[in-house]
Copies of this chain bind each other. A is one copy, B any other.
Amino acid sequence: MIELTRRATFSAAHYYWNDDWTPEKNEQVFGRCANRNGHGHNYTLEVTVAGEPDPVTGFVVDLKWLKDVIEREVMAAWDHRHLNLEVPEFANAVPTTENLAIAAWRRLEPAVTAAKGAKLSRVRIYETPEIFAEFRGGQA
């Protein structure tokens, strides 16, 4: 089995906030991320699929197809967006790097599974080059 990975980048705004908490509590837990005006990041998304290379093409999956899947399932909804205000997954969940990794998995997994002979193996999201979260499926 081979794991094949493609990276893509997107730029988005977000903030961390819990409506059930006072502003003081939000600031205490979330620090500068609790600024409701929002801040943002250049995120890097790494999508890894696993399978056997096709003996004729040498492809686990066609990388052009994978790029289109990432574009359609994630980039179209997240790039140049405000994650809290425009992305349904984060209407009621804090858009932490951890939650972004899970949400990206759920967006990508059905499309990748529909491809013959490959499965989604791993999703990694870098919020900055220093911080990243990784999800390999299952409960979360």
On chain B, the residues within 8 Å of A101 by CB distance are 2
Least distance between A5 CB and chain B CB atoms (Å)? 5
Interface of A is mostly: mixed
Contact A35 B80 (CB under 8 A): yes
Choose one: B33, B37, B57, B64; the contact of A82 (CB below 8 Å). Answer: B37
Least distance between A26 CB and chain B CB atoms (Å)? 10
On chain B, the residues within 8 Å of A6 by CB distance are 130-131
Contact A140 B2 (CB under 8 A): yes
Please measure, in the bound complex, the distance between the C-alpha atom of A138 and the C-alpha atom of B50, giving whole angstroms. Answer: 14
Instruction: With CB as the reference atom, state the residue of chain B lying closest to A44.
Output: B130
Contact A4 B98 (CB under 8 A): yes
Most chain B C-beta atoms within 10 Å of own C-beta, residue among A33, A98, A128, A129: A98
Contact B11 A39 (CB under 8 A): yes
A-B contact pairs, 9 of them (CB 8 A): A3-B135, A4-B131, A5-B131, A13-B37, A13-B39, A16-B58, A42-B128, A53-B98, A59-B96
4 closest A-B pairs by beta carbon, nearest first, are A40-B40, A58-B94, A37-B82, A58-B96
